[in-house]
């Protein structure tokens, strides 16, 4: 009798422990492991809905396993049945407490899901906080190096351009532009080619890193845009980056939504901080590509105020 009872409790307790371990693993151990695999600078937690699905799947797995054998299922359910019947000693007491607490917990969770949490701010959000913000200071006065390339940058470009012959491989050679004849190319044509290549690279980087939020067509309607309370900016709107000097855009891309002054953050901005993910060059290239693709120019200060 005692052996049966201890075996019964073992199945129940083992299942419970395994379940808690699975939960703790997904919640606390997975984010640093994902961080190490992806090589990012921050932990990567599992999104809430996905987490819920994993737990549902784990629960289903438990019951598939337990119900594959009638005896195991009976053993697993035995402590619950005993508790319902008012037996089971200390287990019985624990179960009774659980029976009261569980519905209360579920009730609270449902209440918590539906109760409105966001208080609409009384003042409008300032989309373009000034660069007097402390985390903007290191960016004041920076210039996009790709707009005015130095002779060294152009020389390096020519070398790389001729090295990476895009006509090799499976591409249609006739459809490709002729190779670069650096001797016959005048400086302005070379600069134009350099700028165009930079834009092509920037465009690819944009589609890879920014499209999900800001949209393929820069209209702020990327596939995940609607999941945020504070929507990603539509660059095609002339009231956004067209009103900013380029260094301000570089600051916003580098530092993201973190650390913005209160006036700019009644809702937290999900705009990521890109300075740890993308090199300075890549950030400038993306900015150049965005302006080119929306057909606008960065704002130029009309006069320098002392």
Cα torsion 240, 242, 248, 251 to 10°: value is 60
Q: What tokens appear for 2 in the block?
A: 């005692």
Cβ of residue 134: shortest distance to ligand HEC, in angstroms? 16
| Alpha carbons 260 and 240: distance in angstroms, whole number | 17
Identify the residue among 66, 249, 288, 289 touching ligand HEC (CB under 6 A). 249
Taking the complex as a whole, the smallest distance from the CB of residue 295 to ligand HEC amounts, in Å, to 16
Rounded to the nearest 10 degrees, the angle between the axes of helix 70-84 and helix 89-114 is: 90
| Number of chain residues interacting with ligand HEC (CB under 6 A) | 24
Interacting residue with ligand HEC among 66, 213, 234, 245 (CB under 6 A): 213
Which CB atom, from 54 or from 228, has the smaller least distance to ligand HEC?
228
Out of 233, 234, 288, 294, name the contact with ligand HEC by CB under 6 A: 233
Residue with tokens 């990327």: 222
**Please, which residue, 190 or 264, has the CB nearer to ligand HEC?**
264
One residue of 8, 218, 252, 285 binding ligand HEC per CB under 6 A: 252
180 neighbors 193 (Cβ within 8 angstroms): yes
- Which residues ranging from 256 to 275 are in contact with ligand HEC (CB under 6 A)? 257, 269-272, 274
- Which own/partner contact pairs does 94-98 have at CB distance under 8 Å and 24+ positions apart? none
- For ligand HEC, the closer of residues 209 and 236 by Cβ is 209
218 sits near ligand HEC (criterion: CB under 6 A): no
Least distance CB 190 / ligand HEC (angstroms): 27
- Cβ neighbours of residue 59 under 8 Å, at least 6 residues apart? 19
Distance CA 255, CA 275 (A): 7
The residues in 81-140 that bind ligand HEC, with binding defined as CB under 6 A, are 127-128
**CB nearer to ligand HEC: pick between 66 and 233:** 233
Interface with ligand HEC includes 254 (CB under 6 A)?
Answer: no
The distance of closest approach from Cβ of residue 231 to ligand HEC in the complex, given in angstroms and rounded to an integer, is 6
Closer to ligand HEC by CB, 90 or 301: give it: 301
Residue of the chain from 11, 78, 241, 294 that contacts ligand HEC (CB under 6 A):
241
Exactly one of 136, 190, 253, 288 binds ligand HEC (CB under 6 A); which one?
Answer: 253
How far, in Å, are 157, 276, 279, 305, 306 from residue 152 at the CA level?
A: 8, 26, 19, 33, 33
d(CA 227, CA 39): 26
**Alpha-helical regions (H) of the chain:** 2-24, 30-38, 48-67, 70-84, 89-114, 151-163, 187-209, 211-214, 246-255, 280-294
Q: What does the DSSP assignment read for 242-264?
A: GGS-HHHHHHHHHHTTTT--GGG
Which residues would be at the binding site for ligand HEC (CB under 6 A)?
A: 127-128, 209-210, 212-214, 228, 230-233, 240-241, 249, 252-253, 257, 269-272, 274, 286
């Amino acid at each position: 009798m005692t052996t049966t009872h201890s075996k019964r409790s073992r199945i129940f307790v083992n299942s419970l422990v395994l379940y808690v371990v699975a939960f703790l693993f997904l919640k606390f151990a997975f984010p640093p492991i994902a961080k190490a695999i992806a090589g990012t600078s921050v932990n990567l937690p599992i999104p809430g809905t996905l987490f819920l699905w994993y737990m549902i799947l784990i629960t289903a797995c438990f019951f598939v396993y337990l119900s594959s054998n009638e005896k195991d299922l009976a053993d697993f359910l035995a402590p619950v049945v005993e508790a319902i019947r008012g037996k089971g000693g200390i287990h019985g007491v624990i179960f009774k407490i659980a029976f009261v607490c569980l519905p209360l917990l579920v009730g609270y969770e449902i209440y918590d899901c539906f109760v409105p949490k966001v208080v609409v701010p009384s003042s409008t959000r300032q989309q373009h906080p000034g660069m007097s913000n402390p985390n903007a200071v290191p960016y004041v006065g920076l210039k996009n190096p790709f707009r005015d390339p130095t002779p060294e940058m152009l020389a390096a470009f020519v070398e790389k351009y001729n090295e990476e012959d895009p006509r090799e491989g499976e591409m249609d050679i006739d459809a490709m532009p002729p190779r670069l004849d650096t001797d016959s190319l005048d400086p302005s044509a070379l600069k134009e080619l350099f700028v165009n290549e930079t834009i092509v690279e920037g465009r690819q980087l944009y589609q890879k890193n920014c499209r999900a939020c800001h949209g393929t067509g820069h209209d702020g309607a990327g596939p995940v845009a609607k999941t945020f309370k504070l929507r990603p900016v539509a660059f095609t709107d002339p009231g956004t980056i067209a009103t900013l000097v380029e260094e301000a855009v570089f600051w916003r891309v580098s530092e993201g939504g973190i650390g913005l002054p209160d006036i700019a953050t009644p809702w937290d901005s999900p705009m990521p901080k890109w300075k740890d993910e993308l090199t300075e060059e890549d950030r400038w290239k993306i900015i150049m590509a965005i302006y080119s693709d929306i057909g606008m120019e960065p704002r130029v200060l009309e006069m320098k105020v002392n």
